[in-house]
Amino acid sequence: MSRYPLSSRAQEDWSAVKASLDELAAAYNVGWRWFEYPATLGQPPVTGGYPVGSVVSDMPYRVTDREVEQIINRIEKQSDKFRSAVDASLDKSRLNGTRREDDINAFVKDFYKETKTLRDHFDHHKSTAADVQSVLDRAARIDEFMRRARLKKNAEREWSSLKANLDELARVYNVSWRWGY
């Protein structure tokens, strides 16, 4: 289409089709790049000696809604366990009654709120990578605290389990994510 332009309406329609195809490729975890065909149609396009076009990921082509729901359920349950463990740990620490205790409790509350928003959007089939990113951003603040605070082993263990579930959530929503080590 770009080599042999048509009317502006046809170009707009083609742009819409390309956007839908990009969305379809993402749903099936197929990496896709649009390219120019060589002068002789029918030859595979080549860049740097390698054909370009689709690249199939080694991940399964799609995660079911049920599998995503199970991940979200695990995150909700694990976050409840973490919240209880961190509460008990803070109450027995030098942070008890301090502004830092209030801060971590606020971080945990924000994380809980964003997790519930994700759940609500998922239940209404409207969850997006942006919802997951928001949950992960809240989790990153907790992670910073956990790396510095040295709480009891139970709180650290619960946080480690929760982080593993958050990593899985990021993977299924194709959100690039690394903890700030």
Asked if 179 contacts 163 with a C-beta cutoff of 8 angstroms, the reply is yes
Mean pLDDT of 63-69: 88
Helix (H) or strand (E) holding 31: strand 30-32
CATH 1.20.120 intervals, the chain: 65-172
The reported pLDDT for the residue numbered 4 is 60
Matching CATH number, 65-172, of 1.20.120, 1.10.101, 1.25.40, 3.30.750 = 1.20.120
Dihedral sign from CA coordinates of 132, 135, 137, 143 = negative
* 173/121 Cα distance (integer angstroms): 13
Per-residue tokens: 1: 């289409």
Mean pLDDT of 24-39: 55
Average pLDDT of the chain to the nearest whole number? 79
pTM of the model: 0.65
Q: Above 90 in pLDDT, residue 163?
A: yes
Q: How many CB atoms lie within 10 A of CB 31?
A: 11
Instruction: Tell me the Cα Rg of the chain.
Output: 23
| Most confident range, picked from 58-62, 88-92, 164-168 | 164-168
Asked if 36 contacts 45 with a C-beta cutoff of 8 angstroms, the reply is yes
